[in-house]
């Protein structure tokens, strides 16, 4: 598999990371190296193997449907970049 600069730009956009032309080229060279390593995986036949998504075979715990958290928005918003009237401020999304 060969990666292109366009792939890098597409993925960077998906990951919401700004990347310029020079960086894309640099990253492309590094990612191509990593993917050549990753390609080793394709040599193994895994057709009858069940994927292992987790280290422990466990069932998701359920909890009582009760409120366990108290309202701490003032504390939490005290470290936010921009807050007004209890709301997090971001650039306008809808005109």
Partner 1 sequence: MLNASLKQLATQLLEKKISSVELTEAFLKHIKSLNPELNAFITINEEMSLAQAQVADKMIASGQAHPLTGIPVAQKDIFCATGWLTTCGSKMLSNFVSPYDAMVIERFNQVGAVNIGKTNMDEFAMGSSNETSYYGPVKNPWDTLAVPGGSSGGSACAVAARMVPAATGTDTGGSIRQPAALCGISGIKPTYGLVSRYGMIAFASSLDQGGPMAKSAEDLALLLNVMVGFDGRDSTSLQRESEDYTRDLEKPLGQLRIGLPKEYFAKGMSNDVASAVEAAIAEYRKLGATMVEVSLPNTMLSIPVYYVLAPAEASSNLSRFDGVRYGYRASRYTDLEDMYKKTRAEGFGAEVKRRILIGTYVLSHGYYDAYYLQAQKLRRLIARDFTEAFKQCDVIMGPTSPAVAFNLGERSNDPLQMYLSDIYTIAANLAGLPAMSIPVGFGGKNRPVGLHIVGNYFKEARMLNIAHQYQQVTDWHLRAPAGLFEAK
Q: Provide the binding-site residues for partner 1, judged by CB under 8 A.
A: 7-8, 11-12, 14-19, 27, 30-31, 33-35, 37-42, 44, 46, 49-56, 58, 60-61, 63, 72, 75-76, 78-82, 88, 90-93
Residue 5: other Cβ atoms inside 10 A = 13
Q: Residue 41 or 85: which CB sits closer to partner 1?
A: 41
Q: Tell me the C-alpha distance between 33 and 31, whole Å.
A: 5
CA 95 to chain centre: 28
Closer residue to partner 1 in complex, CB, 25/35: 35
CB of 65 to partner 1, least distance (A): 14
Q: Which is nearer to partner 1, 50 or 67 (CB)?
A: 50
């Amino acid at each position: 598999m060969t990666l292109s600069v366009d792939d890098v730009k597409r993925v960077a956009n998906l990951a919401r990371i700004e990347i310029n032309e020079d960086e894309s080229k640099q990253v492309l060279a590094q990612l191509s190296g990593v993917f050549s390593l990753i390609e080793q995986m394709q040599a193994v036949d895994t057709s009858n193997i069940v994927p292992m998504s987790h280290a422990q075979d466990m069932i998701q715990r359920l909890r009582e449907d009760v409120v366990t958290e108290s309202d701490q928005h003032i504390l939490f918003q005290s470290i936010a970049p921009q807050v007004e009237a209890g709301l997090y401020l971001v650039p306008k999304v809808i005109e």
